[in-house]
A and B are shown apart, each in its own frame.
Chain A
Amino acid sequence: MRRTLTRRGFLATVAAAGAAAAVGPPRALGRPAIQAPRPGPILTRPIPSSAAGERLPLVGLGSWITFNVGDDPAARDACTEVMRAFFAGGGRLIDSSPMYGSSQDTIGYGLAKLGHPPELFAADKVWISSGEKGPAQIAASLQKWGIPRFSLLEVHNVMSWEEHLPALFALKKAGKLGYVGVTTSEGRRHDEIEKILRSQPIDFVQVTYNAADREVEARILPLAHERRIAVICNRPFRRGELIARTARSPLPAFARDIDCESWAQVLLKFIVAHPAVACAIPATSRVDHVRQNIGASYGRLPDEATRQRIAAEVAKL
């Protein structure tokens, strides 16, 4: 029987977040990227349901909007450079969905150009109302990525999850899929997410969480932690709004204490310091930004008091 986690008890575990985020060596890929020296090795967090103890770096790479560039060769090459910098910085998880236009094709293009990095943790979604058509969509997605299997497949926005989840569990059991999950965004369908977390043996849940959107702290994050379900956080910058809000505000003094060089890193560390969070998935089409983002996977993480200060600073902006 699972132990019930109280909010107070749950917050107490935040102090141990740094210990939970163990370290592993970043692996360079392809030509070396020029980047500032990292404060120590990359921070990773275990996937709770992984029997093999698989771990993920704290920052992944989203592809919503930024990688939807059609068949524009210049833009595809630019996205490939973003992926190159991401892998060079030690990143692993790339997230996409059939809903994201040409993003899957762009990822496939980049992976082929980069020689299919072995460290890739390929996270995609099923996004179709018909359960019967799910396998065909997954096959099409695999073809676009140019890979034989996904590390993680999630039911996008919990659409027809009752039909899709059994099929995904069957794929996992057959060894054709690493992990199974569900997603939502921007605070929607939390009751349904909670129901799934309580009733289904999923490995991952993806929700919106950032210094301004903290609704999931109340129920979803503690429940996921209790049920040993890894949490991926989307919209870490609220689609750029938080970055824009912080643009004219000097970096707070405490940023140095948590090894942050930018507001982007402060905002990301606010998220990934939460012990229930496996990783955040900021999306970008710029190499300098992805280097900055992956930089939040290094150095010291904020304790709970500092996280509250970050949230308070953001609320003031």
Chain B
Amino acid sequence: MSEWWTYRLSNFLLFAPRTYFRLFELYNAAIWPAQILAFALGTGLLVLLRRGGVARGRAIAGLLAAAWLWSGVGFHALRYATINWGAVYFAWLFGFEAAALLGLALSRRAAFEKPADGAGRIGLGLFLFALVVEPLIGPVLLGRRWRGIELFAVAPDPTAVGTLGLLLLARVRRRWLLMAAPVLWAALTGVSLLAMEARDWWVAPAAAAMALAAAGRQGSRRRVPGAAWRPAAR
């Protein structure tokens, strides 16, 4: 891209903000009543997390993979791509995350556990935020329509934030690889919403930054001799 310094953020916005938020209204209408299933999936993840164990960890990873696949295909590829040709690449990003989570589900090393440290508590908090609070920000605080509510497991933003939260509770190798796509999406959606001058543009990037900081702290603790990360007692 020549003369890149002359471009402003708004130059990359292909659609009007009302078109973007209307997209969620049409999407929700098209997938109804999948939203009930999505909320049940979210609460189901909490139950699985509470009970712990490898088998339930694999189930958590598998359900997260399904959520990413749904958001990638159902939202990005089939909806968002109608107004943003870049959404095809977002769909691939979500497909990559779904594949990585599916790989984790099949690996027999998928252990998720209840919060055992500060980072874990931040993770649980982020997941609950994505499941309950984040969807309400638009309709309750910003005057967007309820019909356009963005829910965990079907809409990309809460899915990414909720996944980052759960990954802070995961005891898996190469966790950074699983965190890459949600963090990247959080940055992309933040930039998009900023270009749209949406007041909640900072929510997903702030959640991702918090998750990264917590993961870094957790990782450094694990590397300190004698401070090995121990799973919570069951």
Q: Mark A residues whose CB is within 8 Å of B.
A: 65-66, 68-72, 75, 99-102, 186-189, 239, 285
In the docked arrangement, what's the CA distance between A189 and B2, Å? 8
In the docked arrangement, what's the CA distance between A239 and B10, Å? 10
> Are B14 and A100 within 8 A (Cβ)?
yes
> Are B11 and A68 within 8 A (Cβ)?
no
Given A75-B19, A101-B82, A102-B82: A68 in contact with B14 (beta carbons within 8 A): yes
- Name the CB-closest residue of A to B8: A186
> Are A65 and B14 within 8 A (Cβ)?
yes
In the docked arrangement, what's the CA distance between A98 and B3, Å? 22
> Are B19 and A188 within 8 A (Cβ)?
no
Check: B13 CB closer than 8 A to any chain A CB: yes
> Are A186 and B11 within 8 A (Cβ)?
yes
> Are B14 and A101 within 8 A (Cβ)?
yes
> Are A101 and B85 within 8 A (Cβ)?
yes
- Name the CB-closest residue of B to A74: B22
Given A102-B83, A187-B6: A72 in contact with B26 (beta carbons within 8 A): yes
Interface string of B12-46 (1 = CB under 8 A from A): 01111001001100100000000000000000000
- Name the CB-closest residue of A to B84: A101
CB distance from A210 to the nearest CB of B (A): 16
Compute the total of residue contacts between A and B using a CB distance below 8 Å: 49
Contact of B6 among A66, A101, A186, A239 (CB under 8 A): A186
CB distance from A297 to the nearest CB of B (A): 25
User: Which of A75, A99, A102 lies at the interface centre, i.e. has the most chain B CB atoms within 10 A of its CB?
Assistant: A102
In the docked arrangement, what's the CA distance between A100 and B15, Å? 8
Check: B79 CB closer than 8 A to any chain A CB: yes
Q: Which residues of A contact B23 (CB under 8 A)?
A: 70, 72
- Name the CB-closest residue of B to A285: B16
Interface residues of B in 168-185 (CB under 8 A from A): none
In the docked arrangement, what's the CA distance between A68 and B14, Å? 7
Q: Which residues of A contact B83 (CB under 8 A)?
A: 68-70, 101-102
CB distance from A192 to the nearest CB of B (A): 9
Q: Which residues of A contact B79 (CB under 8 A)?
A: 70
Contact of B19 among A69, A99, A187, A239 (CB under 8 A): A69
Secondary structure of the A contact surface, majority rule? loop
Nearest 6 A-B pairs (CB), nearest first?
Answer: A70-B82, A70-B83, A68-B15, A101-B83, A101-B14, A188-B3
Contact of B15 among A101, A186, A188, A239 (CB under 8 A): A101
- Name the CB-closest residue of A to B11: A186
Please name 5 pairs of A and B residues whose Cβ atoms are closer than 8 Å in the assembled complex, sorted by A.
A65-B14, A65-B15, A69-B15, A99-B14, A100-B14
In the docked arrangement, what's the CA distance between A236 and B66, Å? 46
In the docked arrangement, what's the CA distance between A8 and B104, Å? 73
> Are A68 and B19 within 8 A (Cβ)?
yes
- Name the CB-closest residue of B to A190: B3
- Name the CB-closest residue of B to A70: B82
- Name the CB-closest residue of A to B6: A188
In the docked arrangement, what's the CA distance between A309 and B19, Å? 37
- Name the CB-closest residue of A to B80: A70
In the docked arrangement, what's the CA distance between A285 and B19, Å? 11
- Name the CB-closest residue of B to A187: B6
CB distance from B197 to the nearest CB of A (A): 12
CB distance from A292 to the nearest CB of B (A): 19
Q: Which residues of B contact A102 (CB under 8 A)?
A: 82-83
Q: Which residues of B contact A72 (CB under 8 A)?
A: 19, 22-23, 26
In the docked arrangement, what's the CA distance between A65 and B10, Å? 11
CB distance from A129 to the nearest CB of B (A): 11
User: Which of A68, A99, A187, A189 lies at the interface centre, i.e. has the most chain B CB atoms within 10 A of its CB?
Assistant: A68
CB distance from A101 to the nearest CB of B (A): 5
Q: Which residues of B contact A285 (CB under 8 A)?
A: 16
Contact of B82 among A71, A100, A188 (CB under 8 A): A71
CB distance from A109 to the nearest CB of B (A): 13
In the docked arrangement, what's the CA distance between A188 and B16, Å? 23
In the docked arrangement, what's the CA distance between A102 and B79, Å? 11
> Are A188 and B14 within 8 A (Cβ)?
no
In the docked arrangement, what's the CA distance between A274 and B16, Å? 30
CB distance from A79 to the nearest CB of B (A): 11
Interface string of B68-96 (1 = CB under 8 A from A): 00000000000100111100000000000
> Are B16 and A66 within 8 A (Cβ)?
yes
CB distance from B7 to the nearest CB of A (A): 8
- Name the CB-closest residue of A to B14: A101
CB distance from B29 to the nearest CB of A (A): 11
- Name the CB-closest residue of B to A66: B16
> Are A75 and B22 within 8 A (Cβ)?
yes
In the docked arrangement, what's the CA distance between A223 and B182, Å? 51
CB distance from B91 to the nearest CB of A (A): 15
